[in-house]
Amino acid sequence: MALTDVWFLLIAVLWTGYLVLEGFDFGVGMLLPIVGRTEVDRRVAINTIGPVWDGNEVWLLVAGGATFAAFPEWYASLFSGFYLALLLILVALIVRGVAFEFRGKIDDDRWRRNWDRAIVAGSLVPALLWGVAFANIVAGVPLDADHEFTGTLLTLLNPYALLGGVATLLVFALHGALFLALKTTGDVRERAHRLARGLGAGAVLAGGSFLLWTHLAYGASWTLVPVLVAAAGLLAALGANARRREGWAFAGTAVAIVAVVVTLFGSLYPDVLPSSTDPANSLTTVNAASTPYTLTIMTWVAVVFTPIVLAYQSWTFWVFRRRIAATDIPPATGLPARTGTHAR
């Protein structure tokens, strides 16, 4: 296997890790006002992802860095053509991170409600736009002979891409609901269980339609296998949720997300960014790659540091594996809200 193929596979693995782990973060954030009827319940929900959400985002940073180093042409064309969409995702992620840190700084309901809205928006926007972005990467975008994007934002908002966005939004919401059911007790757990049951049909319908479209229009014969695995994972998750087997239900959606990434990258290869105007202008694992020397150095770095990162993140999840209950939430410690003419 050529080093270009190795790095294409490794980037697919990095995106798999990011979407599986950050997917439930997005789901928890989107569902926050629904599962959290009281301030204590909302803090329970936030605390389920509090120790891990920033670590989960590291997968995105590494995936982006690996793309930049291994396939600089791919990285350049993506960030020029998808600039506005990626900027919106970046802003949403920043706003969400700030909201997690700031919502508890002041003991005021209005203050917290505003930051909760920021958490919802900061979770919903990336959940939608990542699906739109990956659908366009698989389907191809208009590229000229210099591999420059020649379309507009509306080019990216085509029916296939929008279906991809809806699919990732619903699947991540289901993934997050099952994570909440797995990690909480009491009212939050019950609401998450009911939400997962309600979200299931939409996730199966949108996700199944998107993957079937992907396979028929862009996939190879073998990509039907991960499509079926994704469908089986979602259906198994719904069945396990009905039996209150939260661990198996969460594993089912995780398997489904892995199968989605396999379908998308399997349909893409050997291209990394197809041209919808002329196949000769497409970026491939060969013409978009760095030099063999660069890829060799990167491979040795990955061999050394990847196991360390995986071990550390696995340890983090093990340490914070216990369910969270309302009784675990201490009283609010933020500064009291200041009112009146002297609050300056």
Does residue 101 have a pLDDT over 80? yes
Please give the single-letter amino acid code of residue 225. V
* Percentage of residues in the chain having pLDDT higher than 70: 98
Side-chain-facing half-sphere of 182: CA atoms under 13 Å: 24
Q: How confident is the model at residue 342 (pLDDT cuts 50, 70, 90)?
A: very low
Question: Tokens 């239900």, residue?
Answer: 249
Question: Tokens 């997968």, residue?
Answer: 59
pLDDT score of 339: 53
261 by Cβ neighbours in 10 Å (0-12 / 13-18 / 19+) ranks as buried
pLDDT score of 21: 96
Question: Tokens 């900027």, residue?
Answer: 87
Q: How confident is the model at residue 340 (pLDDT cuts 50, 70, 90)?
A: very low
Q: What is the C-alpha to C-alpha distance for residues 119 and 106, in angstroms, rounded to an integer?
A: 16
Q: Could you give all domains of the chain from N- to C-terminal order, each with its CATH number?
A: 3-322 (1.20.1630.10)
Of the listed ranges 108-112, 115-119, 146-150, 336-340, the least confidently predicted one is: 336-340
Question: Tokens 């489904």, residue?
Answer: 256
Indicate left, alpha or beta for 142 from its phi (over 0: left) and psi (-120 to 50: alpha).
Answer: beta
pLDDT score of 332: 74
For residues 42-71, give the mean pLDDT.
94
The tens digit of pLDDT for each residue in 256-304 reads 999 999 999 999 999 999 999 999 999 999 999 999 999 999 999 999 9
Is the model more confident about 335 or about 141?
141
pLDDT score of 229: 98
pLDDT score of 216: 96
Length of the chain equals 344
The tens digit of pLDDT for each residue in 223-260 reads 999 999 999 999 999 999 999 999 999 999 999 999 99
Does residue 57 have a pLDDT over 70? yes
Residues 6 or more apart whose Cβ sits within 8 Å of residue 81: 141, 143, 149, 151, 156
SS3 101: helix
Does residue 213 have a pLDDT over 50? yes
316 by Cβ neighbours in 10 Å (0-12 / 13-18 / 19+) ranks as middle
- 153 touches 162 (CB < 8 A): no
- 238 touches 204 (CB < 8 A): yes
Q: What is the C-alpha to C-alpha distance for residues 247 and 9, in angstroms, rounded to an integer?
A: 28
pLDDT score of 334: 74
Angle, nearest 10°, between helix axes 186-218 and 109-139?
20
The tens digit of pLDDT for each residue in 117-144 reads 999 999 999 999 999 999 999 999 999 9
For residues 158-169, give the mean pLDDT.
97
DSSP state of 277: S
| SS3 letters across 175-228 | HHHHHHHHHECHHHHHHHHHHHHHHHHHHHHHHHHHHHHHHHHHCCHHHHHHHH
β-pair partners for 226: none
SS3 172: helix
pLDDT score of 299: 95
Residues 6 or more apart whose Cβ sits within 8 Å of residue 167: 131, 203, 206, 207, 209, 210, 211
Does residue 1 have a pLDDT over 90? no
β-pair partners for 324: 184
